[in-house]
Structure 1
Amino acid sequence: MNTPRIVIIGAGIGGLSAALELAHRGLDVTVVEKAQAPGGKIREVEADGTPMDAGPTVFTMRWVFDELLEAVGESLESHLTLQPMGLLARHAWGPEERLDLHADPGHSARAIADFAGTAEAARFQDFCQRARRTYHTLKDTFIRAPRPSPATLVGRAGIRGLGDLIRISPYDTLWRALGNHFHDPRLRQLFARYSTYCGSSPFQAPATLMLIAHVEQEGVWMVEGGMARIPGALANLAARRGARFCHGHAVTEILVQGGRARGVRLADGEEIRADAVLSNADVAALQQGHLGTAVRQAVAHDRGRQRSLSAVTWNLRAPVGGFPLLRHNVFFCRDYHAEFEDVFGRGRLPAEPTVYVCAQDRGDRDSDGISPQEDRLLCLVNAPPLGDRPAPSPEEIARCEETSFRLLQRCGLQLERPGTGAVVTAPPQFEQLFPGTGGGLYGQAMHGWRASFNRPGTRSRIPGLYLVGGSVHPGAGVPMATLSGRLAASALLSDLTSRKR
């Protein structure tokens, strides 16, 4: 029989993981990517003449990538150089209020005791146990599994696991649950930030997101050369197995014939015929017709669907002083509730945002990788996903920049505001990069207990059209999107086998 031909739209991490597995299995795979390099949201920009990470900066859940590479006869160590981090992040609320979180919970407990007292350290240890229990309850029943429903989740957990599902408090919000663990408002604010990893507000996101705390304790790695080395490695492995990559070409339409996806049409009019299509675009792009009217109903429209957070980012190269930067640093605003009310409630940039700073040339110790002259920096603040509307305006972004860098200065970081060589990316630019999202970077916001179940699964409503990426199950983030690619490859191979029979 003829070798099945597969077209993958987008070389994001989900599309790449699917391409690698399908090419390894001998399928004829073509990946079409409008950018000039693979990666999707894992991207690099050149600021002040220097390449630097401009997307995700944290590498976690290494087992996802170990399993992917093992499935194709490779090892992660052969293609990426990873360094485990002992100190995960440095957090600041002011010039004298700093707290470091460590991969070792015992080290973190001691730091919390010094920062907020022994009672809070004991509460932190209780929190870690709950985060660990939540993670292990959902790892196989939800994260690794095909799209679940509440009923199938209970079925996978079984009678013995039903109590664990109840104990993870799926109906509680993260903010409220954290209030049961921490009395110091700064600690509640710190651990509430995990909701932003999924583009959500801690005041609306489910308490189950506390599992991210355990994910980080299981390991955070620095990738030598930057995060862009990850998609580069997967693309090279897929190409070695015969996958073809068409960079610099945009897909304008998914071709549907006889009720089935049969290929794609490119912006220049060329058609690529296929037996199946995998879309690594945000599902909103399908729903809004960015990939043709024939697939607008491929994913059910959820009226309650709320876009996830967007961001304003500044990539710059500059000298710093006054604050001992590590690789990952968070500078907290004084009113966390007001920040998220501004973004999700009022649809505007925060009056005072929390600022994340990634210093790419630093390590996880004060003495690691410090440049005597300049650092490569990515500074990020949360923003409303309104990039497809005339908001935020350049004036609003300028005010946000002033407020953000004033907060850094208040916390002791001496850093000049970005100059002309810096690269500023705001919701309108993210909308251009990822159409249909308004700049939302994580698909659907995880607001309410049902949000996890409302994400589309691998199979769309149109036979032969499969969905991958952070906007589908199991969710946003580099490892989750990678898992979505593996789930799609498995579903497609299963369907091809069924068709042959």
Structure 2
Amino acid sequence: MTRTLTGPTDHVVVVGAGLAGLAAALHLLGAGRRVTIVERDNGPGGRAGRLVRGGYHIDTGPTVLTMPEIADEAFAAVGTSLREHIELIELHPAYRAAFADGGTLDVHTDPEAMEAEVERFAGPAEAAGYRRLRHWLTELYRAQRHRFLDADFDSPRQLLGPDLLRLAALGGFGRWENGVARHLRDERLRRVFTFQALYAGVPPTRALAAYAVIAYMDTVAGVYFPRGGMHALPRAMAEAAQRAGAAVHYGRPVTALERSGERITAVLTAEQRIPCDAVVLTPDLPVTYRLLGRTPRRPLRLRHAPSVVVLHAGCDRTWPQLAHHTLSFGSSWRRTFEQLTRTGELMSDPSLLITRPTATDPALAPPGRHLHYILAPCPHTGIGPGPADWHDLGPRYRDALLGELEHRGLDGLAAAIEEECLITPADWTAQGHAAGTPFSAAHTFTQTGPFRPRNLVRGTTNAVLAGCGTTPGVGVPPVLLSGKLAATRITGTHDGTPRHRTRTRNRAEESRT
């Protein structure tokens, strides 16, 4: 039995209108709570934001949606559905992998299409290995979905049970790379099913095989893109929350939390004091702990995931070899992870993600124009260049990346750019992200499950945390689940069934807060 908040919880203030905060708000509204959302930016989204330049509509955060049923749970809490608000387009292929030897592989989530593609690429033995790998990934997901991913933890003892034994029997506590290698001999194919370890912040040679569930989401469950871009998701969630009665205040950074003993009694901004019975805090952990006035002690120092440099480029042309998502792998692999997680160097032989959202939704750019999103993993500022270094390093690294991509076949890329925005760890730091990374705490063993920073903080009895720094972790599906889990701590419901009918309140009443 997991802990829930004690005392009244009628009015909940959610700090942050990112995916975690909006998911929490929808689940709270569905359980009959009165909800006020306070967001520092001028609109919803948080990390899943939107930038408009020269007619280009740029998603500044996640580029795809996996496991859309998790987002749908949040909409269902207030009596609507994801597909009532958003047109989802399944991507075919989900990714295109381009290798240094010139080979390419289209990654399909349809089993027959992917098996045929693997056989074309690497032969029938590897196609048979893919079938076994797909089954293993699916079983890993089934073992974890409800007991580990969608669960609050108060103690490691809660792990004990048949699901833990099942996960162990599947090899979930071995190494991710070894688990994939049992099924695939081709080193290039292994990369396709292990590159997701970057999201977990741990090299696949050291990451728990349990985290191969991320590869399940990417390569088995389906990859989707909302028409209008990923920012359409938080925008729709915010609209659904407001229709269900939430009061939403944009452009209001929270300056302090008013306390009475161990309870938060009000959330303060420069413009207003908002009384509350409970609060959900979604900023990055250092910001949240500063507001609470307490940083929980840990036996080991928190380790952070690598960061990324992102170049958003609006171009007057595109390149036919680019799919919606193209993974451009360098020759180096193990050394790349060593540089990103241990030595703090920039990738000497980079592996890059190029996203071309206008391949699926041309309306995101002016007519005849194309939007490209170039993502280069880099060390976080705790082991690599610091924020101050990036002010000079950023433009040089941007030029180096463009030069490398031109060398890999995107000829004329630099000259084709009309509008651009470069984001480096200095920008992530300025947004309040610890160690200059948007991926928060790495998913090491000591930062996984019940060992991850918890969503309850001792010394405060009516505050709950949500977001990628707490349970269950990084990525769009886990972040949405973190909002649901935060709501569960408040309402005690967890099965998606509201205890009360949603109460739509008069806006005049909300304004009095």
Q: What is the TM-score normalised by the length of structure 2?
A: 0.87
Q: Name the residue aligned to 1:19.
A: 25
Match of 2:477 among 457, 476, 479: 479
1:58-69 map, 5 Å:
58-69=64-75
CA RMSD of aligned residues (A): 2.8
For residue 95 of structure 2, what is the amino acid of its counterpart? A
Give deviations 1:4-23, integer Å, cap 9, x for gaps.
Answer: 22211111111111112223
Q: For 1:383-404, what per-residue CA distance to the aligned partner results, in whole angstroms no more than 9, with x for missing partners? A: 2221894454344333432332
Deviations 1:287-335 (A, max 9, x none): 4x2x2xx5323x4435242111211001111144554222111101211
Is 2:423 the partner of 1:417?
Answer: no
Q: Which residue of 2 aligns with 1:37?
A: 43
SS of alignment partner, residue 376 of structure 1:
strand
2:99 is the alignment partner of 1:88: no
Q: Secondary structure at the match of 1:417?
A: helix
SS at match of 1:361: helix
Matched residue, 2:259: 256
Instruction: Give the corresponding residue for 2:16.
Output: 10
What per-residue deviation string (whole Å, max 9, x for no partner) do you get for residues 220-245 of structure 1?
A: 21201011111111111111222111
Give the letter for the 2:136 counterpart.
Answer: R
Find the residue that maps to 2:194 and give its secondary structure: helix
Distance 1:168 1:149, change over 3 A: farther
Q: Is the 8 A contact 1:95 1:411 kept in 2?
A: no
Moved more, 466-475 or 119-128: 119-128
Q: Secondary structure at the match of 1:193?
A: coil
Residue 494 of structure 1: CA displacement? 3.4
- Could you tell me whether the CA contact under 8 Å between 2:312 and 2:371 is conserved in 1? yes
Distance in 2, Cα, partners of 1:224 & 1:302: 45
Cα distance in 2 for partners of 1:477, 1:49 equals: 28
What residue number does 1:187 align with? 189
| 1:348-380 per-position Cα deviation (integer Å, ceiling 9, x unaligned) | 32223211111111139xx99999842111111
Of 199, 204, 207 in structure 2, the residue corresponding to residue 205 of structure 1 is 207
Contact 1:173 1:207 in 2 (8 A): yes
Contact 1:323 1:413 in 2 (8 A): no
1:428/1:150 CA distance change after superposition, 3 Å = same
Match of 1:382 among 377, 392, 398: 377
Q: Does residue 225 of structure 1 match 2:223?
A: no
One-letter code aligned to 1:362: A
Q: Which amino acid aligns with 2:221?
A: E
Aligned pairs (5 A) from 1:257-336:
257-266=260-269, 268=270, 270-287=272-289, 289=290, 291=291, 294-297=292-295, 299-301=296-298, 303-336=300-333
Post-superposition Cα deviations, 1:131-185, rounded to whole Å, max 9, x if no partner, equal: 1111101111111222275432232xx2xx4542212323322223333332222
Match for residue 456 of structure 1? 453
Name the SS of the counterpart of 1:78 in structure 2: helix
Q: Residue in 2 aligned with 1:351?
A: 348
Q: Call closer, same or farther: CA 1:178–1:10 in 2, change over 3 Å.
A: same
Distance 1:373 1:98, change over 3 A: same
TM-superposed CA distance for 1:51, in Å, is 1.6
Provide closer, same or farther for how the CA distance between residues 390 and 474 of structure 1 changes in structure 2, counting only shifts above 3 A: closer
> In structure 1, what residue type is equivalent to 2:273?
E
Q: In structure 2, what is the Cα distance between the partners aligned to 1:311 and 1:135?
A: 27
Structure 2 residue runs of 5 or longer lacking an equivalent are 1-6, 494-498, 500-513
2:178 touches 2:205 (CA, 8 Å); kept in 1? Answer: yes
> How far apart, CA to CA, are the structure 2 residues paired with 1:330 and 1:371?
25
Q: Which amino acid aligns with 1:207?
A: A
Q: How far apart are the structure 2 equivalents of 1:175 and 1:483?
A: 26
- The 8 Å contact of residues 62 and 230 in structure 2, kept in 1 or not, is answered as yes
Residue type at the aligned position of 1:326? A
1:122 matched residue in structure 2: 128
The separation in 2 between residues aligned to 1:136 and 1:414, in whole angstroms, is 44
* CA distance 1:123–1:425, change in 2 (3 Å): same
Q: Matches of 1:368 and 1:31 in 2, distance apart?
A: 30
Partner residue, 1:431? 429
- Deviation readout 1:252-280 (Å, 9 max, x if unpaired): 222222121222222x2643221111101
Cα separation, partners in 2 of 1:162 and 1:50, compared to 1, 3 Å:
closer
Correspondence 1:48-59 to 2 at 5 A: 48-59=54-65
TM-aligned CA deviation for residue 70 of structure 1: 2.0
Q: Which residue of 2 aligns with 1:341?
A: 338
Is 1:75 matched up with 2:81? yes
* Aligned residue identity for 1:239: Q
Which amino acid is the alignment partner of residue 327 of structure 1? H
Residue identity (%): 28
The answer to whether the 8 Å contact 2:315/2:418 transfers is: no
Judging changes above 3 Å, is the alpha-carbon distance between structure 1 residues 95 and 389 closer, same or farther for their aligned structure 2 residues? closer
Give the conservation status (yes or no) of the 8 Å contact 1:147–1:456: no
Q: Which of the residues 133, 140, 145 maps onto 1:139? A: 145
Aligned length: 483
Question: Which one-letter code corresponds to 1:215 in the other structure?
Answer: M
Structure 2 CA distance, aligned partners of 1:171 and 1:211? 12
- Return the alpha-carbon distance in structure 1 between the equivalents of residues 366 and 190 of structure 2: 33
Indicate the SS of the match to 2:143: helix
Q: 2:110 aligns with which of 70, 85, 104?
A: 104
SS in 2 for 1:7: strand
Closer/same/farther in 2, CA of residues 381 and 149 from structure 1, 3 Å limit: farther
Q: Any conservation in 2 of the 1:47–1:316 contact (CA below 8 Å)?
A: no
TM-aligned CA deviation for residue 2 of structure 1: 9.1
Given candidates 465, 481, 487, the residue that maps to 1:489 is 487
Stretches of structure 1 that go unaligned for 5 or more consecutive residues are none
Of 15-24 and 268-277, more deviation after overlay is shown by 268-277
